[in-house]
Each structure stands twice: as C-alpha cells, then as structure tokens.
C-alpha cells in the first residue's frame, strides 16, 4: 500500500512539474512573439515613413528623428524584457518575480528558539479552561 502511495505522489509531482514547465515554455514563446511583433511593427512604420519621405510628404529630418525614436523605444523594450527574464523572473513560475535577498534572511525567531513556546505555555497556564486560547469574555488589562 505504501509503495502505491509513493508511486501516486511521484506521478502527481511529475505531472505538476511538467505542467509548470509547459506553462513557462508557453509564456516564453508568447514573450518572444511579442518581441517579433514589436520589431515587425517598428520596421513597417519606418518603411512607411521613408516611403512618405520619398514622395515628399514628410521631411527627411522628421523621418530620421522618428526612426531614431522608434529604434530607441524598441531597443529599450527588448533589453528590459530580456533583463527581466534573465535576472528577475522566477525560474520555476513565469508569473513570479525574484527579489534580491529572497531566501537569505532568517525568520523573526532564531532557529531552535523557545521564545514562542514559552509564550504559548504562559497562555495555556493562564487560561486552561479555553484550551490555551483567550475567550471573548476575558478582561484584558
């Protein structure tokens, strides 16, 4: 019976992890598609601008400045997304972010500390009839 439970847990864990991998891969592909669409729209806009420049409908300076602005915006967006994915995005869950210091700082109580247990014991001895919890009719000082 125990081996069957272990096998079920293993299969459940395996299926859960595979679903996480599939979700991460799907969202990464969607992010790549967004970048490709962004580049496509930028190139299309630039080509229309230079087509209008060729027919004399817009000035050359306007076309070049607009091209520079579009290029800078696209570059900033692509670099920002790449940096976020590489440095800040959680490697397991796509929709979560890692923060500096995650998993580094300890809890409020040091490991092996009896401070919380002493407090619980004090409450249990003070209010034994309520099983250690304070009742609504108790008067707090």
pLDDT tens digits for 113-128? 677 777 777 788 888 7
Q: Calculate mean pLDDT across residues 73-102.
A: 86
**Residue 91: per-residue pLDDT:** 79
Q: Calculate mean pLDDT across residues 9-15.
A: 89
| 3-state class (DSSP) for residue 45 | helix
DSSP string, 128-141: GGGTTS--TTPPP-
Q: Is residue 141 scored above 90 in pLDDT?
A: no
Contact 35, 52 (CB under 8 A): no
**Residue 10: per-residue pLDDT:** 87
**Residue 112: per-residue pLDDT:** 65
**Residue 110: per-residue pLDDT:** 65
**Residue 97 vs residue 103, higher pLDDT:** 97
Contact 127, 138 (CB under 8 A): yes
**Residue 7 vs residue 48, higher pLDDT:** 48
- Split at pLDDT 50, 70, 90, the class of 92 is confident
Q: How far apart are CA 122 and CA 141, in angstroms?
A: 16
pTM (2 d.p.) = 0.63
pLDDT tens digits for 14-61? 999 999 999 989 999 999 999 999 999 999 999 999 999 999 999 999
Between helix 60-83 and helix 2-54 the angle, nearest 10°, is: 170
């Amino acid at each position: 019976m125990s081996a069957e439970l272990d096998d079920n847990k293993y299969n459940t864990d395996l299926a859960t992890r595979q679903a996480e991998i599939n979700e991460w891969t799907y969202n990464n592909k969607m992010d790549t598609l967004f970048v490709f669409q962004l580049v496509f729209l930028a190139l299309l806009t630039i080509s229309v601008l230079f087509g209008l420049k060729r027919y004399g409908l817009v000035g050359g300076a306007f076309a070049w400045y607009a091209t520079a602005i579009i290029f800078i915006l696209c570059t900033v967006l692509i670099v920002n997304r790449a940096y976020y994915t590489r440095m800040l995005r959680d490697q397991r869950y796509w929709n979560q972010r890692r923060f500096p210091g995650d998993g580094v700082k300890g809890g409020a109580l040091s490991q092996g500390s009896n401070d919380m247990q002493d407090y619980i014991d004090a409450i249990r001895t003070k209010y034994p009839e309520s099983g250690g919890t304070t009742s609504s009719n108790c008067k707090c000082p």
